Amino acid sequence: MGFEPLNPDFEARTRDSFARQGIMATLGATLSRVEPGLVEIVLPFRPELAQQHGFFHAGVTATIGDSAGGYAAFTLFPAEATVLTVEYKINLLAPADGERLRALATVFKPGRTLTVCDVAVHVEKEGRERPCAKLLQTLMRLDGRPDGPAAA
Amino acid sequence: MGFEPLNPDFEARTRDSFARQGIMATLGATLSRVEPGLVEIVLPFRPELAQQHGFFHAGVTATIGDSAGGYAAFTLFPAEATVLTVEYKINLLAPADGERLRALATVFKPGRTLTVCDVAVHVEKEGRERPCAKLLQTLMRLDGRPDGPAAA
Amino acid sequence: MGFEPLNPDFEARTRDSFARQGIMATLGATLSRVEPGLVEIVLPFRPELAQQHGFFHAGVTATIGDSAGGYAAFTLFPAEATVLTVEYKINLLAPADGERLRALATVFKPGRTLTVCDVAVHVEKEGRERPCAKLLQTLMRLDGRPDGPAAA
Amino acid sequence: MGFEPLNPDFEARTRDSFARQGIMATLGATLSRVEPGLVEIVLPFRPELAQQHGFFHAGVTATIGDSAGGYAAFTLFPAEATVLTVEYKINLLAPADGERLRALATVFKPGRTLTVCDVAVHVEKEGRERPCAKLLQTLMRLDGRPDGPAAA
């Protein structure tokens, strides 16, 4: 992709913002990759994250997919800006049955005001991954606000 | 709207399925209305549900919105069927800053295989409600499966 | 809904912009209602608008739905602003089999930068209407540009 | 991707169905690639396809994107099945200002009932292409119907 970050400190800023998101600790999610225009979040399974069949709840899948996209956009922002999710669409492709979720978000179209991200969520079971969700997401850059993602 | 439920026992079935969704208890969500083609879920605020600014996290908003829509479709299904979320789009309209979320889902178009629901989520602050999210959602009916929502 | 237009001349401005959209004349669409936050477009059937089964092509349904939403947002803008469709989701609910399409768009959430609209498209056959599509759409206001919808 | 078509005759069937879509001739669109799980449609610019600024109208962009996705799904169907667009979301990324549109659709997740496609639309201007739209689309397979896409 070859995105040029506006803020050389983008990785530290993204990791710092992620660390302040209480919900990520509650879920047990971690930030596995932070690159210009790309963020990956992984989440091990626990029964507290399940729906009634013992799979990851779709709300959990959506939450880490949304945050991965928000932070992917955020890596390309200037230092004094924050990110807001305008909207996303999520297709739930298969039951999220497995030991681990991995949400990989990439910026498809950066913009001064709006950024569009593409997010794929895979579920890993017995060492094999398969796609379980896909998001197409619109993010908004809010300048003059030093904080992290507002809606993520 | 005047939907005719196929299963006269739809309310008990919906409440029973909801009660088995561990995530709803984890969040603290309750089912406030169950009518043919209409379901409402309410959720009081707790810091554990917040993002970094102290508002409801968007993932929480999406989770109860998705479940409300899934159950609204479910009220119109026959007894031996379950529901799966195919996809939804959510617009986050305003920060979910308040004491309580209320997701109201109505069936817009029922169908033998696919049902389309419209969901509005409001946030209440100091006695005043305002819309904070809107979903347009596609659900699938799976016959011959007695259980509750699989993806909700 | 009780929206207060910023521009008292909103109706003339909307009708004027619509008249300059060549595609609307090509399709044969007309603007049947223009109110603050609400626009309705109607379109009679012609074989040139059909897909292979003789129904309105989904692209035609989407085109008038998108324009109705764009103009509904536009009615609430100040005089020197134009509108751009950021994105929409459309559910195709039933075959658009009939003599006339009617797209009714209402502003669900106005905003200084982004506006969210809800659009329902009905098809009329032998005097009876039924819903054939529903859109949830995000529009952007671009200030300092006197022209009509850029993407509609 | 390595999709295995169920129908060895998929290309002829797809081209035949496309040829019966009157709207494609009206627009001047042609089918440039038909592979298992992948379809590309190209469309040269004409003033009749424009909105008021002289760019491709967004409805035209959506129409070829929707059809490309519908046919990409269709290439993987058995001989006696047709395809219906359930829904799609489209992000309009940039004005479609140029001489030619190219919609490239790939199947992201095939399924017995539902298929999810990813569609990118590029606009070419003076020999240089850039993305102008992206769709995430859900298609439904209807068995026992020999015809082409019903909603495309």
Tokens representing C82 are 């134009």
Looking at the complex, report in whole angstroms how far the Cα of residue C70 sits from the nearest Cα belonging to chain B: 16
In chain B the beta strands, taken as DSSP E runs, fall at 30-35, 38-44, 81-92, 100-109, 114-125, 128-143
Burial class (CB in 10 A: 0-12, 13-18, 19+), A131: middle
Looking at the complex, report in whole angstroms how far the Cα of residue A136 sits from the nearest Cα belonging to chain D: 7
C124-132 long-range contacts (CB < 8 A, ≥24 apart) are C124/C98, C124/C99, C124/C100, C125/C97, C125/C98, C125/C99, C126/C98, C126/C99, C129/C102, C130/C94, C131/B108, C131/B109, C131/C93, C131/C94, C132/C56, C132/C61, C132/C92, C132/C93, C132/C94, C132/C95, C132/C96, C132/C101
Location of structure tokens 């169908």:
B111
Q: So what's the ipTM on this one?
A: 0.92
Question: Rounded to whole angstroms, how far apart are CA atoms B132 and B58?
Answer: 10
Question: Rounded to whole angstroms, how far apart are CA atoms D57 and D53?
Answer: 9
Identify the sign of the CA torsion C115, C116, C118, C119. positive
Asked if B89 and B140 touch (Cβ cutoff 8 Å), the reply is no
CA nearest to D83, candidates D50, D55, D118, D113? D113
Cβ-based contacts of D50 with chain C (< 8 Å): 22-23
For the stretch B85-95, pLDDT in tens is: 999 999 999 99
Asked if C120 and C92 touch (Cβ cutoff 8 Å), the reply is no
H helices within A2-148, ranges in order?
10-19, 22-27, 58-74
Bridge pairing between strands B114-125 and A81-92: unpaired
- Dihedral, CA atoms, C6, C7, C11, C17, nearest 10 degrees? -110
Q: Residue A23 has what pLDDT? A: 81
Asked if D133 and D93 touch (Cβ cutoff 8 Å), the reply is yes
Location of structure tokens 């905003």:
C111
Q: What letter does residue D48 receive in the DSSP assignment?
A: G
pLDDT at A152 over 50: no
Q: What amino acid occupies position B86?
A: V
Location of structure tokens 């030991």:
A99
Q: Residue B37 has what pLDDT? A: 98
Question: Rounded to whole angstroms, how far apart are CA atoms B120 and B134?
Answer: 5
Name the strands in the sheet holding C128-143, side by side, starting at the edge strand that comes first in the sequence.
C30-35, C38-44, C100-109, C114-125, C128-143, C81-92, D81-92, D128-143, D114-125, D100-109, D38-44, D30-35
pLDDT at B151 over 60: no
Cβ-based contacts of A109 with chain D (< 8 Å): 91, 93-94, 131, 134
pLDDT at A96 over 80: yes
Interface of B with A (CB under 8 A): 17, 20-23, 26, 47-53, 57-60, 62-64, 66-67, 84-92, 95, 147-152
Q: Residue A52 has what pLDDT? A: 72
Residues 6 or more apart in contact with residue C106 via CB below 8 angstroms: C1, C37, C38, C72, C117, C118, C119
Tokens representing B51 are 């993002």
Over its length of 152 residues, how does chain C's per-residue pLDDT go in tens digits? 589 999 999 999 999 999 888 788 888 999 999 999 999 999 999 988 887 778 998 999 999 999 999 999 999 999 999 999 999 999 999 999 999 999 999 999 999 999 999 999 999 999 999 999 999 999 999 998 766 454 44
**Confidence at A147, pLDDT banded by 50, 70, 90:** low
> Nearest-CA residue of chain D relative to C140?
D92
Instruction: Considering only the beta carbons, identify the residue of A113, A138, A140 that sits closest to C87.
Output: A138
Tokens representing C95 are 């075959």
Q: Residue C77 has what pLDDT? A: 97
* DSSP β-bridge partners for residue B15: none
How many helices (H) and strands (E) chain C has is answered by: 3, 6
Least confident of A11-25, D5-19, D55-69, D86-100: A11-25
Is A86 in contact with C114 (Cβ distance < 8 A)?
yes
Cβ-based contacts of B93 with chain C (< 8 Å): 108-109, 116
Q: Which residues of B53-89 are buried (b: 16+ CB within 10 A; e: fewer)?
A: bebbbbbbbbbbbbbbbbbbbbbbbeeebbbbbbbbb
Q: How far is CA B88 from CA A54, B41, D8, D87, D125, in A?
A: 22, 17, 34, 10, 35
> Nearest-CA residue of chain C relative to D70?
C58
H or E element: which one contains A140?
strand A128-143
pLDDT at D151 over 80: no
DSSP string, B35-62: ETTEEEEEEE--GGGB-TTSSBPHHHHH
Q: Which chains touch A (3 or more CB pairs under 8 A)?
A: B, C, D
A10-143 carries CATH number 3.90.1150.10: no
What is the distance of C-alpha B88 from the center of its chain?
12
What's the angle, vertex CA D115, arms to CA B62 and CA B18, rounded to 5?
35
> Nearest-CA residue of chain A relative to C90?
A89
Bridge pairing between strands A114-125 and A100-109: antiparallel
**Confidence at D20, pLDDT banded by 50, 70, 90:** confident
Asked if D69 and D105 touch (Cβ cutoff 8 Å), the reply is yes
Whether the pTM exceeds 0.80: the reply is yes
Asked if A14 and A31 touch (Cβ cutoff 8 Å), the reply is yes
Question: Rounded to whole angstroms, how far apart are CA atoms B55 and A37?
Answer: 26
* pLDDT average, residue stretch B111-130: 97
Question: Rounded to whole angstroms, how far apart are CA atoms C67 and C133?
Answer: 14
Asked if C43 and C81 touch (Cβ cutoff 8 Å), the reply is no
What value does the mean pLDDT of chain A take? 92
Backbone angles phi, psi at B87, to 5 degrees: -170, 160
pLDDT at A125 over 90: yes
For the stretch B18-67, pLDDT in tens is: 988 878 888 899 999 999 999 999 999 998 888 777 889 899 999 999 99
Q: How many other C-beta atoms are found inside a 10 Å radius of the C-beta of residue A34?
A: 20
Q: Residue C22 has what pLDDT? A: 77
CA nearest to A29, candidates A76, A62, A73, A74? A62
